[in-house]
């Protein structure tokens, strides 16, 4: 019960902080002249935002907003495993490349 309430408070806190940050950015933006906004800000910081309907997010089996520390640790463990496998494969490829390079140098020397 306490855990659910705490997660709800954390979710609300993030929403409030994000809203406050957006308000501060908007206030700063409005403080600039129209010319300065266009030249210095709008042209320099163009981006595309993808808006996803809540219904699409809710279709997922997992609720990403309620990820626990255990979930995060599990994902980090999986990522570490993938990194280890990739490093092993990369080392094997480096060995193969070194072998091929040695063969080519030996053939060039003859």
Mean pLDDT of 67-80: 80
**Average predicted confidence (pLDDT) for the chain:** 80
Q: Read off the tokens for 3.
A: 């855990």
DSSP 50-98: ----HHHHHTSSS-GGG--HHHHHHHHHHHHHHHHHHHHHHHHHHHHHH
Around 99, how many Cα atoms within 13 Å sit in the side-chain half-sphere? 6
pTM value > 0.75: no
Stretch 42-63: mean pLDDT, rounded?
A: 66
- 106 phi, psi to nearest 5 deg: -65, -40
């Amino acid at each position: 019960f306490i855990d659910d309430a705490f997660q709800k408070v954390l979710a609300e806190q993030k929403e409030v902080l994000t809203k406050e940050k957006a308000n501060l950015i908007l206030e700063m933006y409005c403080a600039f002249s129209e010319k300065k906004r266009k030249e210095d800000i709008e042209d320099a910081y163009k981006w595309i935002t993808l808006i996803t309907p809540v219904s699409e997010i809710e279709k997922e089996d997992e609720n990403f907003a309620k990820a626990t520390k255990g979930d995060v640790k599990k994902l980090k463990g999986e990522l570490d495993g993938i990194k280890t496998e990739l490093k092993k494969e990369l080392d094997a490829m480096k060995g193969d490349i070194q072998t091929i390079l040695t063969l080519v140098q030996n053939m060039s020397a003859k």
